[in-house]
Amino acid sequence: MSLGIDLENITRTAGQYAKDMIQSPYKSKFWELGQRSRQVAHWLAQAESLVEGSGSHRDLLAATEMAATALFPFLKFPPRNTKSKSPLADLRNSFERGSRGIVIPVGGGSQSVRFASHLIVSLRDVLGCELPIQIVYAGDEDLPSHDRGAISALRETGDIDFLDVLTVFDDSTLHLGEGGWAIKPFAALASNFEEVILLDADAVFLQRPEVLFDQNTYMQHGAYLFHDRLLWQHAYTERHEWLRDQIKGPSPAMLKSLVWTEDYAEECDSGVVVVNKSRPEVLVGLLHVAWQNTYEVRREVTYAITYGDKESWWLGLELAGSGYGFEAHYGSMLGWSDNTTDETRVCSFVIAHVDEGGRLVWYNGSLLKNKLAGPDGYEVPQFWMVDGKWEKGASKQDMSCMVDTEVRPLTEEEKEILRRSIDVAKNVDEFLREG
């Protein structure tokens, strides 16, 4: 066999995966799925070394398909071609080679439509972002045609299309219409973009998203993630015991984690994720992330032990052996200065993030001061902090603050971007009300 590829053993192993499938209870199976996923990624990489269309190439890909559909049942019976014998290959072939774009899952109600519209218009009209944008949803009940029409009718939309994820994956094990955050990894997988910037609808950018593709961490690993806040040290014993049971050999990225090394609660703010699906190990890691967000797994484990989809991103990449990297700092604070106490602090309802040059690049939570408090509460933040101590608000109605570090003013350019983004958001609000 060319280049030492033992096709007989690979086929036997793939058959064993199909015979001995990962089944409930899932809590102890994350590591095992990761080990099997690593084999699939390795086989995909080996296939790239063979002559395309040769017997060895066909046989290796057939074994890989057998294994992949056993590990990730949502790949089976793709709605667009229920007779497909190679759904993983069909999915990979749907990626436009060399393409880059933004994917925004939208659905579940008017607020998601509103915030996504704010985001799109700000990216296009304020920041001049030229990347194509794909809106992904889970069926007509999730994002009805009149809502799709309203987004399309925005003057500044430009180069945007829509993708129903239920036309790509078998929803019988997913239940994405009722899954909330669960749609996100499937949206990234289903998109025809080879390189994806996945955005939550309420993300706010202070730079063009294109800069994320230029971060050294992304270019090196093909997967770039952002950190959550440093909170609740030593507070989640069961979570940490489970992680240590399933991560049996932590990667270099994991050894940098303060969740891993210092017992903090949460690692990832998944409001922005950047992935390169042309890399087999990243693609298979993304399949592991998606598996964690399938209905039974998220209900039994992922959303029960951790909060929503957030930790599934790094955990899937980690267990599947994919390279990945995080921003250098844990979540920053962007908001308003509070000098009413002995300490100078900055407070708000959002988490901010910086690029590798230490410049603010995006934050979560929408352009509203508090998206849960009122629909018209726009206000431009004035200050930010990084690498300070977080003080969490008692409830979602209470601001969180950062202390014990330098208070930094936003630049006039940053404030002008946010002022203009708020202006165009108000125009969007008026347009949506009239519609």
* Residue spans per domain, the chain: 2-76, 95-326, 333-434
DSSP 94-159: TSEEEEEEEEEE--SSHHHHHHHHHHHHIIIIIS---S-EEEEESSTTTS-HHHHHHHHT-TT--S
**36 DSSP assignment:** H
pTM of the predicted structure, to 2 decimals? 0.94
Encoded tokens for 194: 């080879």
Cα separation, 420 vs 327, whole angstroms: 27
User: What distances in angstroms separate CA 228 from CA 1, 6, 162, 218, 256, one per listed residue?
Assistant: 47, 43, 29, 18, 14
Q: Are 295 and 173 in contact (CB under 8 A)?
A: yes
CB-based contacts of 99, cutoff 8 Å, min separation 6: 132, 192, 193, 194, 195
Q: How many CB atoms lie within 10 A of CB 146?
A: 9
Please give the structure tokens belonging to residue 212: 């994320």
- Bin 303: left if φ > 0, else alpha if -120 < ψ < 50, else beta: alpha
Pairing assessment for the beta strands 223-225 and 204-205 based on DSSP bridges:
unpaired
Name which of 184, 342, 371 is nearest 269 in CA terms: 184
Question: Which residues contact residue 422 at a Cβ distance below 8 angstroms, ignoring those fewer than 6 apart?
Answer: 367, 378, 380
Tokens of 156: 């500044």
Closest C-alpha among 236, 324, 231 to residue 244: 236
Per-residue pLDDT of the chain (435 residues; tens, 9 = 90+): 455 788 899 999 999 999 999 999 999 999 999 999 999 999 999 988 887 888 888 989 999 999 999 999 999 988 888 888 899 999 999 999 999 999 999 998 899 999 999 999 999 999 999 999 999 999 999 999 999 999 999 866 677 999 999 999 999 899 998 878 999 999 999 999 999 999 999 999 999 999 999 999 999 999 999 999 999 889 889 999 999 999 999 999 999 999 999 999 999 999 999 999 999 999 999 999 999 999 999 999 999 999 899 999 999 999 999 999 999 999 999 999 876 665 689 999 999 999 999 999 999 999 999 988 878 899 999 999 999 999 988 777 788 999 999 999 999 999 999 999 999 999 999 999 886
Backbone dihedral angles phi then psi of residue 198, each to the nearest 5 degrees:
-90, 125
Lookup result for tokens 């829509």: 162
φ, ψ of residue 324 to 5 degrees: the values are -160, 165
299-344 pLDDT, tens per residue? 999 999 998 999 999 999 999 999 999 999 999 999 998 766 656 8
* Gap between the Cα atoms of 52 and 92, Å rounded: 15
Look up tokens 């993708």; give the residue.
163
Count CA within 13 A, CB hemisphere, residue 391.
15
| Architecture of domain 95-326 in this structure | Alpha-Beta Complex (3.90)
What's the burial of 27, exposed, middle or buried (CB within 10 Å: 0-12/13-18/19+)? Answer: middle
Task: Render 162-201 in DSSP notation, one character per residue.
Answer: EEEGGGTS-GGGT-GGG-GGGHHHHHHHHSSEEEEEEE-T
Give phi and psi for 414, each to the nearest 5.
-65, -45
Model confidence over 136-164: pLDDT tens digits?
A: 999 999 999 999 999 999 866 677 999 99
